[in-house]
Chain A
Amino acid sequence: MTDLLQQLINGLALGSIYALIALGYTMVYGVLRFINFAHGDVFMLGAFAGYYLAEPVAKVIPPQTYLGGIVVLLLAMLICALLGVVIEFLAYRPLRKRPKLTVLITAIGVSLFIEYTCQHEKVFGASPRKFPDLIPNTTWELGGLVVGSAQVIVLVTTILLMIALTLIVQRTKIGTAMRAVAFNPQAAALMGVNVNHVISFTFGLGSALAAAGGILFAMNYASIDPLMGVQTGLKAFVAAVLGGIGNLPGAALGGLLLGVVETFAGGMKGISNYRDAIAFGILILILMFKPSGLLGKQQTEKV
């Protein structure tokens, strides 16, 4: 029982990170109907932003404090938000009227470009680095359960970010505009919405969440490298599809589910080596029976 609970906590922590990244995939898909394959690399850049910010921030705020950790997190989110806006502006906006396949292939190109530029020795270099301790490293034991401060922070941060995201999307003017653009960009333009601004905002928001995911991931797994976004990004994409691409609660649910399943599979004797196969197997199964994903709706239009 304790084992199960322990695995559940570990799984939720991992799943939270998938969820944060998946939200970005799904938001961009919502407004542009394409998969931004470079999103996983923004996650990686978020982790590296945290890595490089840790030292300068430590000069102002004592290292290994929660306040310091939060400042690093917020700054990295801001940097990646700007980066996301720039990526969209330079790589995707010129292709706005082109077939979706063109944009999709460009996204793969952007992804490879970021990965290989970052592996260059003058940039980050290819070898893994140890991520600095941003927050106090404590572990709590509760009746056999071991919970680390990094895990708690992952869960708490994810919950807070999801609440913030929900408020932005549901309650603010720009959030309503995002939903309007997602449904019909032309109609939104007729309301006076500058669709390009909304798309930039969406990229910024998604990239900020990915950056948060990157830092939380690095805090939990301690090591970062320029290719860390490849597999995690792919899994988060799977999570977004699992939950129903274009659907925000779906992305969150898909991420958590994938994290938990993967952790449980990884903890079982005999199948632990197949944890990724299991994750993708689930995707195939769900898509066979519910092609629109767990919470995705079949688009119907009233005539």
Chain B
Amino acid sequence: MLEIKDLKVSYGAINALRGISLTVNKGEIVTLIGANGAGKSTTLRAISGLIKAESGSVTYEGKSIFNQPAHKIVSQGLSQVPEGRMVFANLTVLENLKMGAYLRNDKAAIAQEMDYVFNIFPRLKERVKQQAGTLSGGEQQMLAIGRALMSKPRFLMLDEPSLGIAPLLVKTIFEKIVEINRQQGITILLVEQNANRALEISQRGYVLESGAIILQDDSAKLRVNDQVRKAYLGG
């Protein structure tokens, strides 16, 4: 469904991605793990068009989306839940969700989507009129995911959904990610520092180190891989 070949990104003199290749098949949950600064977020941001890549190719459903502007990429069914959630704190929860459906015009379908979001995150429904800035970190993460779902994506990228969230909610968030994948058939590319959980819910994983992919395998195998265990799973 998504194929990246030899993607290179640099910030000035710093090579953030030194030519990575990865594939995500339809229906999969694939995770990208690695330490801080390895280039995980950069990868997602290059796919979603938030930053320009230097070279390489990004093919989505057979078409090149390489270096297209972000708003064009969303319209093709890719949606990103950005790192740090980036909910619109000055907008209400409802307005945030409506922003997620910005490119859609079918009111009935949008309402249906919103019902689904409220169904998986009932907490959001209780807070529709509230300003998003007043939500807790976990609630904001729910909102960020819900907002991304409002565009009815076929491909969802999540950047560190567990970052800065109460441990109890982390579990819920990961459960919901699996639920979204199974119920809606949305393909997922998950970037996580919480490698343990990410490998638990994903089918395959890539390990990123200093802007290069050093390992790729089935998640189950990565979990027992010595190198991975030492570096990312705490022994």
Contacts and interface: CB of A to CB of B under 8 A. Distances in A.
Interface of A: 173, 176-177, 179-180, 182-184, 186-195, 300-303
B91 interface: yes
B89 A193 contact: no
Contacts of B103: 191-192
Contact of B88 (A184, A194, A195): A184
B41 interface: no
B89 A302 contact: yes
B82 A187 contact: yes
Interface stretch (B1-9, B68-76, B187-195): B68-76
29 contacts: A176-B95, A176-B98, A177-B102, A179-B91, A179-B95, A180-B88, A183-B88, A183-B89, A183-B91, A184-B88, A186-B70, A186-B82, A187-B86, A187-B88, A190-B48, A190-B50, A190-B74, A190-B86, A191-B99, A191-B102, A191-B147, A192-B74, A192-B75, A192-B102, A194-B69, A195-B71, A301-B89, A301-B133, A303-B164
Contacts of B50: 186, 189-190
Interface in B69-97: 69-71, 74-75, 79-80, 82, 86-91, 95
B133 to A, nearest CB: 6
B109 to A, nearest CB: 15
B100 interface: yes
Contacts of B91: 176, 179-180, 183
B89 to A, nearest CB: 6
Contacts, number: 77
B102 A189 contact: no
User: What are the 5 tightest A-B residue pairs by CB atom distance, in nearest-first order?
Assistant: A189-B70, A187-B86, A192-B103, A192-B74, A191-B102
Nearest to B147: A191
B90 A190 contact: no
Contacts of B89: 183, 301-302
Interface in B134-157: 135-137, 140, 147-148, 151
Contacts of A186: 50, 70, 82, 86
Interface string B95-124: 100111011000000000000000000000
B90 A192 contact: no
Given A177-B102, A180-B91, A183-B89, A193 B82 contact: no
A194 B69 CA distance: 9
Contacts of A176: 91, 95, 98-99
B158 to A, nearest CB: 12
Given A173-B98, A192-B74, A194-B71, 19 more contacts: A179-B90, A183-B90, A184-B86, A186-B70, A186-B86, A187-B88, A189-B69, A190-B70, A190-B80, A190-B86, A191-B99, A191-B100, A191-B102, A191-B147, A192-B102, A192-B151, A300-B133, A302-B137, A303-B137
B153 to A, nearest CB: 11
A194 B89 CA distance: 20
Interface residues on B, range: 20 to 34
Interface of B: 48-50, 69-71, 74-75, 79-80, 82, 86-91, 95, 98-100, 102-103, 133, 135-137, 140, 147-148, 151, 164
A194 B75 CA distance: 11
A269 B152 CA distance: 67
A254 to B, nearest CB: 19
A230 B82 CA distance: 43
Given A176-B95, A183-B91, A189 B82 contact: no
B164 A189 contact: no
B133 A302 contact: yes
Nearest to A195: B71
Contacts of A183: 88-91
A179 B102 CA distance: 13
A301 B71 CA distance: 25
B99 A180 contact: yes
A278 to B, nearest CB: 34
B79 A190 contact: yes
Nearest to A197: B71
Contacts of B90: 179, 182-183
A71 to B, nearest CB: 33
A119 to B, nearest CB: 40
A186 B50 CA distance: 7
A182 B82 CA distance: 17
Contacts of A303: 137, 164
A189 B80 CA distance: 10
A189 B87 CA distance: 12
